[in-house]
Structure formats: structure tokens, C-alpha cells
Chain A
Amino acid sequence: MEFETVIGLEIHLELQTRSKLFCSCSTAFGSEPNTSCCPVCLGLPGSLPVLNRKAVELAIIAALSLQSEVQTESRFDRKNYYYPDLPKAYQISQYDRPLALGGFIEMEMDGAKRKINLERIHIEEDPGKLMHSGESILDSDYSLVDYNRAGIPLLEIVTKPDLRNGREARLFLEELRCILLYSGSSDCRMEEGSLRCDANISLRPAGSKTLGTRTEVKNMNSFRAVEMALDYEAGRQAAVLSAGGSVVQQTCHWDEGARETIPLRGKEGSSDYRYFPEPDLLPLILKPDYIETLAASLPELPSSRRARMMEEYGLDPADAAILTENRSLGDLFEAAAGEYKDYRNLARWVRGDLLYLLKGSDRNPSEVDPFLLIKLLTMLDEGEINRPVAKDLLDNIVKNGTDPRELVQQKGLGRIADRETLQPVVEKVLAENKDAVASIRQGREKAFAFLVGRVMAATAGRADPGKVQELLRELIN
């Protein structure tokens, strides 16, 4: 039987605030365990939560950038359960009155236009972090808990079951990350835990409208893992169903090493969280003006920027996709494009050598001065320098912010085109490569390119290749 895979995602993102959701403790990553804590985030008796205004603002911005409808009245609820990483034995979350409802991402997936709908978006606090001496809390001699994470503001985004395979899930997450990075609501660093994703996955006979029994997959720690885990789980379910069995509703763990999903022991899924309205916080009432002000301040989002850049600069979809993936890379391109009109050439440099250098030196595109980039490309276009030299100069722009023209003058890196300088070099190369000269004279042109390369090397890449060829022909003949 043919199956259709149905996937819905639950994504947790860390909102990029300086302080926690309900107290003023720092959210900085990497401090000593249990040092960014206070009576409130430790849930000490008598402490009370106070909602972080910035967290609400960022959550609204994220919701708006995902076309989700921000509710003028939402509410916080307590989700009650016992676990040592949860200091109050309840998590303050939003249950039946979330911050925002609906929303979608429209995107290209392998050439097809797809609209992935969202169910809801809400704000909640993160619990602490447990470290076990063994595999799990039950088979460890001891477990340690760090409450630095406790109370970090999270945004939970729940999609509708609109995704059809692991690859779609990964592409969706990449686009989601891109949008949220643009809106500045989260830094979406999966490795620091600021973006986490769980999935619900089920199979149904192709063409069927009803949903099959689902499993929940957790512990997918990268976008690649999401793709692999979901494809694995879809395959596993298909095998079970094809063999006449039925899928058991359960929670599975993605085992990165074994590359398989492993069912979690215990009574997961049967827990009753006893949600009820958080009496320590007032309902969250948002004025429509306030939401509108935030909507007006939203930056241009990646999909419309992609379309505009293709239109305005004549870029192909691949270039536009790379240039918009990172907001500041796009900003750098557009700043340079204001003065430098060979857009395709500019795009090639920015997405190619420049992006490579930025990644290698762990620098942000916003640190690069677009005018130095324009200067460099203009010098190259006007024949002042050769391409290999241009790459070195670009490296200096990225790492030191050096003006390429100054460096060319200082170090004498300009193009060598004058006969007096080139002729002795060419003569020397010819004298050292008599075999090559002989084979050229026999009509084997391959050796000619070799000689050009020798001359270029002898001039540290500075020789004018046109002039070099001219001189070589002249002297060989």
C-alpha cells in the first residue's frame, strides 16, 4: 500500500532578551551553573513572576513575521508536573488563550509552491537543565541540575500537520529560522538550545483524509537530524503497517549515533498537566495600536526580499536565496549595489569569496565596509589588479578593514603591463622551459597555457595576462 506521511512540528525558540521571562536574571549563555538565578526563577517560596515586556514584544514581532494573528487578550496558565528541573513544579505557559493564532509560511519546496500553516504561537518559560551521571534520571547514581536556563523566555510555534516528509520539515525549519533571524526575535542557534524541534508524525493510505496514529519524535538536535529522524520514523511506521501491524502512540527519542528512533519508557503522553489560569499574572492585554506599531516596524522579510532582489538586480533564484539567507549579507549586497552596477558580478563576489572569508574568520557581513568592496571590484574591472591579488585584498578588507588601493600602493601589488618589466621575466621563463617552447612550435597549444602560468607565478600573479600572451607569442615565434 502507498502511504502519505503527515508531519506537524512543535518548535521552541529562545526569545532574544537580555533578562529572563519573569525576573531580571541574565539570559547569557555559558555562565557557571546556578549563577544566573534568583528567588523568582528558583521558585523559592513567596516569590512572584513579573512579565518581561521585551519578551512579549519579540514574541509579537515573531508572530507578525509569520502572518499569525496576535490576540489582543491572551493569558498565562500553569502547566503542573513534577520534575527536578522545574523549580515551581509548574511551568508558566499559555494554554487555551495563546498569544497568536494561525499564520503560515509560503515557500518553494523543490520547485513547488507550498503553504505550511501554523496552529498557534505562545510564550512560555524554559525549565532548568539536568545532567545525569548515567543514561537517564532513573538509572543514574546522581543527577545535577543547572537552573541558569530556568525562566529563559521561549516561543512555542505549533504547525498544522502540513509537512509530508523529512526534507520538507528541514526546508520549513530553515525558512522559519531565516524569517525569525530577519525579525530579530531569536538567534535560532540550535547548538545552544535556542531552537528546538519536536515532531508528530503519522502515516495514512495515500488519498485518505483521516489521520493515522501518531508518534512524537524528540531529541532531534540539528536540521539534518530532523530530516533523518522523520524519514526513518516514516519508514519504520510504513514497515509496521505494511506487515499488518498498527502504530503505537508513543514518544520516541532520536538516537543520533544509532540513527534510529527509540521509544521512551514510562507513561509519557498520559500525563495530566492540570492547566489552570496563572493567578499571579494578569491577563495580557495588548492595545491594537501597539501591535500595529510593531507591525509597521517589521523589516522586509526574506521571501519578499528574494523576489524583489531578483526583480531589481536581475539575480537568479540561487543567488537571491543565498544573499537573503542572512539579513546582513543582503544588506551588504544592497549597500554596495547602490554604487556598483554590475549586480551579477557583485552577487558572485558576495556569495562566493566574501561569504567564504566571512565564515572562515567568524565575522559578520555588517562589519564589512561596502565602499571598500566597491573600490576593489572597480579596480579589478579597470584592470588595475589581477584576480588573485583581488582575493588577497578582499581578505584584508574582511579581516582588517584595509583600503585595497592603499594596500596596492604600499605593497606594489598593481598589475604589471609594461614591456620593460615583463620581457626579462618572459625570456627567463622561455629559457627555463625549452621543451614547452619546442612543443608549442610543433602546434601543441596546451604548453602555451603552462608558460603563461609560469610567468604569472614569477610575477606573484601581478602580470597583465593579455600582455604576457602577446609577449610569449612574439618571443616564441
Chain B
Amino acid sequence: MKLYQKTAAELSRLLQNKEITAVEVLNSFMERVDEVDPQLKVFITCTFDSALETAAAVDHRRMENEKLHPLAGVPVAIKDNFCTEGIKTTCASKILESYIPPYDAAVVEKIKSIGMPILGKTNMDEFAMGSSTENSAFFVTRNPWDLECVPGGSSGGSAAAVAAGMVPFALGSDTGGSIRQPAALCGITGLRPTYGRVSRYGLIAFASSLDQIGPLALNALDCSLLLEAIAGYDQRDSTSLHREVPQYSAAVDRELEGVKIGLIKENISANFDPEIKDAVLKMAALFEENGASVTEVSLPHTDYGLSAYYLIAPSEAASNLGRYDGVRYGFSANGDNIFSLFSRTRGQGFGTEVKRRIMIGTYALSAGYYDAYYLQAMKVRTLIRRDYEKAFQNFDIIVGATTPTPAFKLGEKADDPLQMYLSDVCNITDALAGVPSLSIPTGLHSKGLPMGMQLTAAPLNEGLLFQAAAVLEKCNDSSPVGRPSILPVEGSCRNGI
């Protein structure tokens, strides 16, 4: 088995035992990138040189018997909306096509101080607005399971990179499903942590009250390791939570005895793909076999989630994206005066979906419409949060399908924004409530595409999600192979091995 087929936990163990070097690990992944990226188109920017420097430095320090972080030398990829000092950070937008930030995002600082080589910056929907990565201003990324299908989005580049073995794990951001939906569509595990668990400092904002950074990996253990590395209070983010970071990775060895699991009624009774729903029910049965109780739970305001989300997120986005005016940095169009410079810069610099959301958001906040739209949506958000609070009085984890369908074809929904928005329908209420939510693979659809299930817990209970996911990984025979076989691979790497 090649090194690129191993999980982050395995690589970490081998590195710590000095059985392999960080440079060897990195070389294996870089070769893999060279091999499959021309087909998949995952990376906007590859940073192999600095990654090699990091890996070599880690090897040197290990030789000197320095005490290193367990993940030192394990490579990672980062979505292109995280600021990286001296490295182009585009948000997959023309408006930031050549933008080089002067500082590192808080999580990038952490990754660097651990000594994790950063392989590159991954493709995404422009400014994280989209569910297919087709909204990238540069190129589309393909699903490693079927090159005619989308990888999901907006963290589609990070999800495809992990699924294709280009990197053991990656960082994404989730505003309304942008980690979990592509994780499900690519057959991997992805976590949206509790809002405030990970510092947003240096994450280029889409919708500030919803954006959250999280890991995408092959399994729960790898996700937990990466979360441990990036979580924690940061005084530069006023919304970050002042709470200890538990050892999440310890949770994967715990049993499920006595854990109360709720099957979200609104999710499993929805008009979703039947195979996806069957897979969720099969997982529920596995939970029961492992000593958990499973009963139905209702989140009565679920139906209003999508509408509320598509008012709140665009409102914040319209404000957050105002700064791209061509005056200080990024793309700048010529104008006859300052106001035409503004409008031409923005007219030429932003893509269609971004403009659509700026329009929606501007409208929703306008005088005379604020009460009917933004304020109403905020009230719905409160009701949704209460739905969750109530559910977690009786349940430890609530579950449902991550997506209504498996990966769809490239171009299939590109011209129909409402259909595209609906692909996030299962992910949005968690985001509005600010609760942690993990998508795990449940098996392969008859179309040969992965399917996902979403596990959601009360705020700060990420450990419980890892625990439940790990139990399923051990006993789910139909879990998809972590690495799709259509790409040139040698052998296959099952989850958790």
C-alpha cells in the first residue's frame, strides 16, 4: 500500500515511530496530485515548495528528538478562502484572482506551528456560495467517483482531494452545508463544528453568523485529530468560544450503550432518494445493535429553514462583500469616476451567483423590507434554535440524510439556482442553530456514488459525534471504499483501516 492511501492517524503513528519520514509522505501525496489533479482539478494553487520545506524541517527536528505534535509532517490542504501569508488567496473569484494576504488565518497559524505541510489551496464555489464548486471563477472540480458528477460544494475541492487520496485530510468552511454536503457526495467524513469552536480570524467571510471552519477526512478519527489541532478560543474572533478543547480523538473508542438517538422525522419522511433513506435506516439499526436507542424526533420549523437561510446569509454576504471595490486590493476596473470604478469592478469581478446573493441580501436589508425579510428570518432562526434545544433535552444525537440525492451531473443544476439551493436543505437548520454536525458515508448508491448520513449533537458535543461515527465505521460492511476505483489506484483503502 502506498503512503497516500493511508489515513492521517496511520501516517502520524508511522512518523512518530520514525518508520517513515515527512518528506516521503509528502512525496507520495505530491505524486498522487500530479497523477490525478489534471482530471479532477482540485487545486487553485499548489504550494509544494513550502510544503517540502516544512516536511524537511519536521524530519530534521524529529532526528534531533525534539518533541513534536502528533500531526507534525502529516500534509493538509486548505480551501482557498483561508488567508495564507504570501500565498495567493482567491475565494475562487476573479475579484481576488491575484490577492496575496499579508497575514495567516488563525487556523493556518496553528497548522504551521504544528509543522503540517500545506499542499495547496483548494477550489471552491466563489466566496463559498454554491453546492457544486461549479461557481468557481477558474474551473470546475470533478467528483472522483464519477468524473461527470460534481463533488458538491462549496468545499468541493477539499472533499475531492481527500476522496482521491491527494491529501489525508483537508480544511473547509461550512456556512449552510459547505463541508457536509461535499463530504457526503465524495464519500468521506466532514464536520461542521459548533459555531465559535474554531476561530474565524482570517477566514474570508461569506456570512459571518454562519461561517464555521471544519475538517474533511477519511474517517471520524482523522476528523477528530484535525479538529483538535484547529479548535480553541482566539481573542481575535469575538464570537469564538472560551472553552477548553477536549481530546476529541479519545472519543472514538467509546461504546454507544445508552446513547439516545433521534431520527429526524422531517428528514426521513421527505421526498429524498429512497436508497439514501434506506441507508440511514440501516445505520439506525446498527446504532441499536450497539446499544443505542433510536426513536423519531421532530424539528417542526425545518421547512422554513431554507427560506430563512437564503435571507440571512445573503444579507450578511452583501455587507461582507462590499469591501471588494477595487480601491485597495484585488481586481480593479477602470472607471470614469470613483462610482463607476466601484460598479465596474464589482460588475466584472463577481460571478453570477455572487451577484445574485448580493442583490437578494441588499433587497432584504433595504428600508421598508427589513422587517418583512431579514427580521422575519431572524425570528425563524430563533424558532429553529429552540427546536434543537428541545430535541437535545431528549436526545444525544439526531440523524438524517446529509443530502437528498447522490452527486448530480456537472451542469445539471447550474442554471437552476433554486434546485441548487435545495441540495443543502438537510444542512441548513444545523447551521442556523450553530450546532455541530458530522456527515459520514453510509454506502454506495446503485449509481455507484457515495451516500451520506448527518449526525448532529448539542453545542460542543463534537466528541459524541465522533464516537457514534467510529462505532458505525467498525460495523458497517457497506461503507464505501474511501478511495474511488475509477482513478488509477493500487488496491483500496477502507475507512478506519
Contacts and interface: CB of A to CB of B under 8 A. Distances in A.
A50 interface: yes
Given A82-B322, A90-B319, A280-B238, A45 B374 contact: no
Nearest to B329: A44
Contact of A44 (B101, B236, B325): B101
Interface in A271-302: 272, 274-276, 279-282
B235 A50 contact: yes
B447 interface: no
A88 B320 CA distance: 7
Interface string B96-118: 10010111010000000000000
Given A48-B200, A50-B236, A282-B239, A276 B323 contact: no
A262 B200 CA distance: 46
A48 B237 contact: yes
B367 A50 contact: no
Interface in A29-60: 39, 42-51
Interface stretch (B38-46, B180-188, B201-209): B201-209
A138 interface: yes
Given A80-B322, A272-B366, A46 B101 contact: yes
B359 interface: no
A285 to B, nearest CB: 13
A87 interface: yes
Given A39-B103, A276-B370, A281 B338 contact: no
Contact of B338 (A48, A51, A143): A143
Interface in B279-333: 315-316, 318-319, 322-323, 325, 327-329
A46 B319 CA distance: 13
B342 interface: yes
B238 A89 contact: no
Contact of A51 (B208, B238, B362): B238
A89 B362 CA distance: 13
Contact of B366 (A51, A274, A280): A274
Nearest to A138: B337
Contact of A45 (B204, B338, B365): B204
B359 to A, nearest CB: 13
A89 B105 contact: no
B89 interface: yes
A193 to B, nearest CB: 22
Is the contact region of chain B dominated by helix, strand, or loop, or is it mixed?
Answer: loop
Contacts of B204: 45-46
B319 A80 contact: yes
A48 B201 contact: yes
Nearest to B330: A45
Interface string B105-146: 100000000000000000000000000000000000000000
Contact of A89 (B202, B208, B237, B325): B325
Interface in B201-226: 201-205, 207-209
A84 B236 CA distance: 25
B380 interface: no
Contact of B99 (A45, A48, A272, A279): A45
Nearest to A23: B236
Nearest to A147: B328
A39 B89 CA distance: 15
A196 interface: no
Nearest to A80: B319
A82 B341 CA distance: 11
A462 interface: no
Interface of A is mostly: loop
A45 B201 contact: no
A318 B339 CA distance: 54
B102 A44 contact: yes
A137 interface: yes
A279 B338 contact: no
B83 interface: yes
Interface string A116-149: 0000000000000000000001100001010000
Contacts of B82: 46
Contacts, number: 98
Contacts of B367: 272, 274
Contacts of B91: 45
B200 A87 contact: no
A45 B366 contact: no
Contacts of B200: 48
A137 B201 contact: no
B223 to A, nearest CB: 23
A12 interface: no
Interface in A255-280: 272, 274-276, 279-280
A47 B102 contact: no
B251 to A, nearest CB: 29
A78 interface: yes
Interface string B52-90: 000000000000000000000000000000110000010
Most buried by A among B96, B99, B205: B205
Contacts of B89: 45
B380 to A, nearest CB: 16
B201 A87 contact: no
A281 B196 CA distance: 12
Contacts of B205: 45-46, 280
Contacts of A42: 328
Given A46-B105, A138-B337, A279-B316, A89 B236 contact: no
A455 to B, nearest CB: 75
Nearest to A139: B337
Nearest to B200: A48
A274 B99 CA distance: 28
B208 A274 contact: no
A43 B316 CA distance: 15
Interface string A142-172: 0101000000000000000000000000000
Contacts of B237: 48
A95 B367 CA distance: 14
Nearest to B237: A48
A131 B482 CA distance: 59
Contacts of B325: 82, 84, 89
Contacts of B103: 39, 44
Contacts of A279: 207-209, 239, 316
Contacts of B339: 82
B239 A280 contact: yes
A46 B202 contact: yes
A49 B238 contact: yes
A280 B328 contact: no
Contact of A84 (B208, B209, B316, B327): B327
A423 B105 CA distance: 89
A50 B204 CA distance: 16
Nearest to A22: B238
A49 B238 CA distance: 7
Contact of B236 (A48, A87, A138, A143): A48
B175 to A, nearest CB: 12
A276 B365 contact: yes
A76 to B, nearest CB: 10
Contacts of A48: 200-201, 236-238
Given A42-B328, A280-B239, 17 more contacts: A45-B83, A45-B101, A48-B236, A48-B238, A50-B235, A80-B319, A82-B322, A82-B325, A84-B325, A87-B328, A89-B325, A137-B337, A274-B318, A274-B366, A276-B319, A276-B374, A279-B207
8 contacts: A42-B328, A46-B202, A80-B365, A84-B338, A89-B322, A137-B338, A274-B365, A274-B367
Q: Enumerate the 5 nearest inter-chain pairs by beta-carbon distance, A residue then B residue, closest first.
A: A89-B322, A279-B209, A279-B208, A274-B365, A46-B202
